[in-house]
């Protein structure tokens, strides 16, 4: 009976990417000198072993062959015949990257591309050959290479052998191609014909393979099935036939380890990983699923009660109707909350990539950096997790390149030679806050201002606060780097960081002290699917303004709006003059207010600027479900989405950053990205 294994392929990819993340984090721990825990190496070996076996099962021979070399190197490190030196660990980290690339290409295109592995494969083989000659003892050579006579093999597949996609006949055929093969079938476990399950394996084989055959050739044949069988391999001239004799040699110890390795792998801890996550699937804790099921049950009960009331309703049952509707509202809100919880993922999915990045970049830059990560268990919406990674990468790279100084410079400044970089995440209100902190040189306000004047980004006489000067680094093309490097300095990145974060409905702030370090604080909504918004009326249309962007709402006083040449209408607000943006003119509507003093001003903030939106009325605050306008219609500048209100009408959601960009005048662009001088 043939089994279609393609249905398990996606699961294999997900688990393989998880295994690669485990390998990477454990290898980084080894490179930091944490070599006392033997389970660290065992975990790395098990992950590589699982990837090798799975890729072999699905016919991904390029991956299984390359991973077998990695597994061999790891096995020598586990057995103590090789020390985890920095060069070896770096080679293994590069191998992890290569396996990840091979897997990704197979998943996306269905083809194997071994090009990226050729150089690494050569280096791995060279390392194994050089070290192997120096470390293998006389006793182990006999067990590894045999004595030229051949091998005795006891091959007993597990009952579920066929369910893994393996076939004993294929293995026997490959062995027959290595030398002269004698086969003895063991049918002791075979049941009566009527009791045979065609999906179960009952047979075992005692094999005698004669010839001058290297032990490695046999290992290659059984590499794919090591966890799905009991296997004993002995030199043909060995005096003992049983496991007791085999256990006296190195080969017996390896076989015992292989038999136990499968159970260890199945019972091992499986850790979630950003690399293993893609847009098509999400892993959900069973407790969250149970909560949703319970709430659906309560909804069914409430619906049944309301249906019964509707069959023979009279005013005497009005209170019961009110109670039922209130219960329905509670159940619906709880169900909404629980469903949103199912979309929540740990921010650790994103943070897990940075230990490797810091390790590689600090080495290439000649710097010593300690990375401290906190708040990995903080949960945020899946969509946010998928899109916040690139902005964080830019910020971390800039902190390593521009922020943290080389060891000599730090010592001269009275600091420790090793720099410090911190990533932290926590909930605050209805948002998630992510902080990227370093104890480096900080932002040089004088240098930033001079560079901005030099490039014509601000006038020479512009009066800017330190905070406004720091904001200049988010201007397109801005960079203070003396030379372009592989890490940064091309003037591309920080403007993209802000734009991507604002695209998620968030904001970014800078706090920096020259010589002491910098802190970049990112605030993001917990979810992009539901929005807390203020409904406003503009003519005959309703709009939703995100509450996170609103500072305050003000009644327009007669004479408070001024017409400034070249700047349009402005409003005196505290110590600033805010530009007034009429939403009716911006979106092509018609205000109901005959005079501007009859309207309301909603002061909002976006892209580091504050403006006043002129609306007709405030209608109330509510949570709205965000629908993509671009998916269902087309992209509209200044609109981030749409929602359906309780009366069935459609309201557009205002994109504050887009509105500000759309309404910015040429005069505002020439004054420090729209910064206004104090009155």
Task: Say whether 402 is catalytic.
Answer: no
CA dist., res. 642 & res. 628, Å (int) = 6
Q: How many C-beta neighbours within 10 Å does residue 507 have? A: 20
Tokens of 524: 């993001």
Query: Would you say 629 and 635 are in contact if contact means Cβ atoms under 8 Å apart?
Result: yes
Give the helix ranges, DSSP H, for 213-367: 215-222, 243-246, 250-267, 286-311, 318-342, 348-351, 354-365
CA dist., res. 402 & res. 438, Å (int) = 11
Binning the chain into helix, strand and coil, the percentages to the nearest 5 are 45, 20, 30
CA dist., res. 523 & res. 380, Å (int) = 12
Helix (H) or strand (E) holding 576: strand 576-582
Query: Would you say 124 and 73 are in contact if contact means Cβ atoms under 8 Å apart?
Result: yes
Catalytically annotated residue among 24, 49, 76, 500: 49
Task: Say whether 158 is catalytic.
Answer: no
Catalytically annotated residue among 15, 18, 24, 71: 71
- Spatial neighbors of 237 by CB under 8 A, at least 6 apart, are 147, 149
Q: How far is residue 268 CA from its own chain's centroid?
A: 22
CA dist., res. 259 & res. 230, Å (int) = 6
- Spatial neighbors of 660 by CB under 8 A, at least 6 apart, are 581, 606, 607, 609, 611, 674
* Bridge partners, residue 182, by sequence: 208
Catalytically annotated residue among 166, 352, 398, 431: 398
Q: In what order do the strands lie in the sheet with 517-525?
A: 369-374, 419-428, 431-438, 517-525, 507-513
Query: Which residue is it, tokens 């079938």?
Result: 185
CA dist., res. 525 & res. 380, Å (int) = 8
Task: Say whether 662 is catalytic.
Answer: no
- Count of residues making up the chain: 679
Measured CA distances, 519 to 147, 247, 464, 515 (Å): 66, 59, 20, 13
CA dist., res. 432 & res. 526, Å (int) = 6
Q: Which residues are catalytic?
A: 49, 71, 398
């Amino acid at each position: 009976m043939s089994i279609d294994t393609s249905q398990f392929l996606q699961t294999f990819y997900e688990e393989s990417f998880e295994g690669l993340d485990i390998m990477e984090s454990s290898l980084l721990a080894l490179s930091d000198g944490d070599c006392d825990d033997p389970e660290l190496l065992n975990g790395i070996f098990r992950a590589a072993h699982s990837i090798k076996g799975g890729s072999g099962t699905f016919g991904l021979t390029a991956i299984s062959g390359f991973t077998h070399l990695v597994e061999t190197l790891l096995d020598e490190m586990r057995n103590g015949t090789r020390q985890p030196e920095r060069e070896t660990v770096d080679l293994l980290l590069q191998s992890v990257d290569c396996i990840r690339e091979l897997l990704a290409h197979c998943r996306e295109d269905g083809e194997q591309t071994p090009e990226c592995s050729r150089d690494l494969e050569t280096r791995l083989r060279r390392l194994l050959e050089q070290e192997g000659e120096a470390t293998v003892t006389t006793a182990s050579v006999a067990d590894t290479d045999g004595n030229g006579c051949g091998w005795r093999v006891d091959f007993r597949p597990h009952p579920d052998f066929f369910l893994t996609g393996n076939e004993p006949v294929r293995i026997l055929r490959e062995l027959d191609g290595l030398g002269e093969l004698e086969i003895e079938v063991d049918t002791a476990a075979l049941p009566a014909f009527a009791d045979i399950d065609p999906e179960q394996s009952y047979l075992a084989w005692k094999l005698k393979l004669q010839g001058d055959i290297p032990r490695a050739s046999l290992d290659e044949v059984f590499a794919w099935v090591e966890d799905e069988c009991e296997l004993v391999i002995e030199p043909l001239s060995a005096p003992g036939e049983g496991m007791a004799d085999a256990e006296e040699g190195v080969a017996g110890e390896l076989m015992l380890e292989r038999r136990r390795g499968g159970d260890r792998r199945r019972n091992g801890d499986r850790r979630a990983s950003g690399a293993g996550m893609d847009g098509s699937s999400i892993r959900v804790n069973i407790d969250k699923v149970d909560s949703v099921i319970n709430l659906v049950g309560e909804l069914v009960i409430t619906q049944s009660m309301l249906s019964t009331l509707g069959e023979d309703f009279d005013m005497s049952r009005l209170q019961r109707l009110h109670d039922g509707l209130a219960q329905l509202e509670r159940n619906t809100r709880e169900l909404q909350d629980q469903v949103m919880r199912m979309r929540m993922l740990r921010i650790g999915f994103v943070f897990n990539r940075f230990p490797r990045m810091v390790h590689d970049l600090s080495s290439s830059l000649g710097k010593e950096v300690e990375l401290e990560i906190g708040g990995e268990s903080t949960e945020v919406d899946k969509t946010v997790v998928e899109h916040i990674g690139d902005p964080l990468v830019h910020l971390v790279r800039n902190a390593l390149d521009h922020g943290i100084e080389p060891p000599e410079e730090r010592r001269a400044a009275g600091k420790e030679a090793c720099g410090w970089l911190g990533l932290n995440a926590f909930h605050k209100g209805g948002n998630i806050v992510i902080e990227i902190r370093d104890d480096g040189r900080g932002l040089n306000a004088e240098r930033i201002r001079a560079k901005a004047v030099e490039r014509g980004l601000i006038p020479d006489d512009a009066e800017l606060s330190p905070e406004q000067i720091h904001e200049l680094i988010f201007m397109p093309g801005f960079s203070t780097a003396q030379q372009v490097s592989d890490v940064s300095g091309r003037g591309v990145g920080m403007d993209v960081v802000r734009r991507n974060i604002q695209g998620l409905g968030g904001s970014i702030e800078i706090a920096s002290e020259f010589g002491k370090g910098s802190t970049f604080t990112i605030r993001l909504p917990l979810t992009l699917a539901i929005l807390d918004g203020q409904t406003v009326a503009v003519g005959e249309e309703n709009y939703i303004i995100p509450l996170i962007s609103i500072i305050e709402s003000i009644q327009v006083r007669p004479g408070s709006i001024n017409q400034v040449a070249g700047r349009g209408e402005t409003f005196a607000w505290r110590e600033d003059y805010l530009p007034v943006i009429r939403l009716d003119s911006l979106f092509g509507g018609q205000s109901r207010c005959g005079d501007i003093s009859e309207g309301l001003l909603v002061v909002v903030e976006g892209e580091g600027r504050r403006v006043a939106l002129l609306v007709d009325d405030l209608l109330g605050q509510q949570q709205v479900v965000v629908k993509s306008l671009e998916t269902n219609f087309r992209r509209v500048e200044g609109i981030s989405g749409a929602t359906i209100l309780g009366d069935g009408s459609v309201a557009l959601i205002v994109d504050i950053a887009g509105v500000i960009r759309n309404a910015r005048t040429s005069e505002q662009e020439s004054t420090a990205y729209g910064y206004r001088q104090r009155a």
